Structure 1
């Protein structure tokens, strides 16, 4: 049997084109039905509307939140809001995390407090912290009240750090063990989990005060004698980060040391969270995109489909700088106009 291979980027574009076709057909059919003069016109129009949107909703339900986010960013505002209304509540939080700041702003503007809270309740504390800066203050307070005590403390901890600090992006889901137990005990402990946290490649060894003592790599756990003690096989040479460290520098360390996850500690060397490679990839991507956008006088917060006036407001420093340099260039050319007329080859150096 032949298997058809499809590259992720091709699949992503195909999904976008399918959604665009469904939206176009939805508008076309509704326009035709609206113009028809028939018995029970309103009922027919409602049924056609529901049928078209159901097909689009089923398509969206099959997609990963990151793919839906890409589609939302690529659609004009009217189509974007149509698609957003069809997204299921249990996916809204993940999609809000994936979209750009500008698109997130347009989506949140259509949601009331209850809808925002329902979407955020599906997220972990560290993920809610990523959204908190874009949420109304009263919604953040309501969210905190709805969380359990442990999650509330985690959210408050994440919000206490600046956006570019490690503490703001650290993950609180991790597995900790003690150093005075055997590997057999650790294995039995792990079997109690339904599933391990994402990107778990190591277990963090702590004492009763949550002070970090070392790491136990899963590969070490699997190949070592189950009767061995944790403190005999754990690694003590650990790459650690403080909550106040810069995220960009942490991302570079992940790349340099080929890390999948790493512990985050406080000033007393107590374990407070962990960094994961997926978050560091996001940091690197955002920094790269920011550099490229800055070259064109753009910002990440700018929506591709925003108005000309809003785009001009966002880009005015860059536009003003270009205008000033253009005036300066014209004055320089004017000052050396006679010389340029005498030596034509100098025209090649004109800006």
Structure 2
């Protein structure tokens, strides 16, 4: 068993016990643990008081990375008792992008004081990054990179690389710039090892290597990594000047954030909703969407109320109504999930929208016919005194609702995207309303026409 593995077998209660009797021993233990393991330990604490008791013993060299593993609200709470110069000591051990993320998650006044406490070189690296939106390439990038002039030989590049490589984490590419610092090309370190020392670096570098603008959305950056299968991408400004790079580890976080955001929004939750939020804030955020859902449910109930006389005469309709609505809702949600995820990944666009609509509508027709026949037979045997009439009515309603669900599940997110509204945010509520109204209207309407 390695030393590293030994320290992972350490609970919050154990840590609190050690903190009381041997605080320095706890510091030494934390120094041997990975930041993700320390963060997991802090999350397992019963309350903020326990976290505050432990965070004081985490060494500065891993404290920053540990905090970044925690929810944003918790980061600010844990740093509340730290002075600006103490937070500055933590920031000094972070790359520029991580330092910026940490400072953006605390109160602006405190962040400003921390920046003022930093050394001039570190301040010059972090201050420009603070100006970028967190969800853009500029907000993701770090300024630490390895760049060389376009007229350097491979031998000179290798000589300088040996000197500076230890100071840059996740070094995968050499970036080549012109005399005005504009990005020209890139070369992987693997490729660099196999070229002749006397060659000029631009002769062997890739001039078509992808790059991103600092203002580009983080979701576009993630798609670029997926498309080109790269480990880092250079970031340029509006003049083409190389100002930073984004590494794959940051993009993994973006992909996770975007997927979580889409999942939350499909069920009417804020992407800020997490287990560490205060109860009141969580209840308010969820309550807003529950109110919207209540309004749509009342709308569906108004439709049902129009057929009160029919339901009172044929009680079996009340028993069967949930089946029609539920099947439509589930079928629509299946289509909706596929389309929303396709839009997020760039696989569903206006250019292939017709093909997608045709496919989902056809699927709706096939499933509609299959389950219409099935439910028709079941209902005919379930309520034999109505003969085949009730079975045919629910079969027709089921077919109509499943077809409508497939069509609505495709059209709603595509329409919302066209209107510049996030499809993941409102599609679910609209879809539920459509399938409920179509299902109840067709089922009760047909029952009124053919069974009374």
TM-score normalised over the length of structure 1: 0.80
Cα separation, partners in 2 of 1:267 and 1:310, compared to 1, 3 Å: closer
1:310 aligned residue (281, 287, 293): 281
Distance 1:285 1:198 in 2: 22
* 1:103–1:303 contact (8 Å) kept in structure 2: no
Q: Aligned residue pairs: how many?
A: 320
1:216 is paired with a residue whose SS is strand
**2:145 matched residue in structure 1:** 174
Q: Does 1:22 align with 2:3?
A: no
CA-to-aligned-CA distance 1:271-325 (integer Å, 9 cap, x gap): 1111111111111111112222334444454452554333212322122223333
Distance 1:49 1:253 in 2: 46
**1:76 matched residue in structure 2:** 46
Cα separation, partners in 2 of 1:337 and 1:275, compared to 1, 3 Å: same
Q: Does 1:344 align with 2:316?
A: yes
CA-to-aligned-CA distance 1:13-32 (integer Å, 9 cap, x gap): x94x73145268x4xxxxxx
**1:32 matched residue in structure 2:** none
Distance 1:194 1:325 in 2: 59
After TM superposition, list the pairs within 5 Å mapping 1:260-279 onto structure 2.
Answer: 260-279=231-250
Distance 2:260 2:199 in 1: 48
- Measured on the aligned residues, the alpha-carbon RMSD in Å equals 3.0
Cα separation, partners in 2 of 1:211 and 1:305, compared to 1, 3 Å: closer
Distance 2:170 2:42 in 1: 28
**2:196 matched residue in structure 1:** 225
* 1:102–1:302 contact (8 Å) kept in structure 2: no
CA-to-aligned-CA distance 1:141-196 (integer Å, 9 cap, x gap): 33332334443233222122212110111111111112222211211111212615
Please identify, of 286-295 and 337-346, the stretch whose mean Cα deviation from structure 2 is larger: 337-346
**1:140 matched residue in structure 2:** 111
Q: Does 1:66 align with 2:40?
A: no
1:203 is paired with a residue whose SS is strand
After TM superposition, list the pairs within 5 Å mapping 1:282-293 onto structure 2.
Answer: 282-293=253-264
Distance 1:284 1:105 in 2: 24
TM-score normalised over the length of structure 2: 0.63
After TM superposition, list the pairs within 5 Å mapping 1:249-268 onto structure 2.
Answer: 249-268=220-239
Q: Does 1:162 align with 2:133?
A: yes
Aligned-pair distance for 1:66?
2.0
Aligned-pair distance for 1:53?
5.6
Aligned-pair distance for 1:206?
1.1
Where structure 1 has 5 or more consecutive residues not aligned to the other structure, the ranges are: 5-10, 27-47
Q: Find the structure with the greater CA-based Rg.
A: 2
**1:33 matched residue in structure 2:** none
Q: Does 1:245 align with 2:216?
A: yes
* 2:67–2:75 contact (8 Å) kept in structure 1: yes
2:100 aligned residue (103, 108, 129): 129
**1:7 matched residue in structure 2:** none
Distance 2:19 2:164 in 1: 45
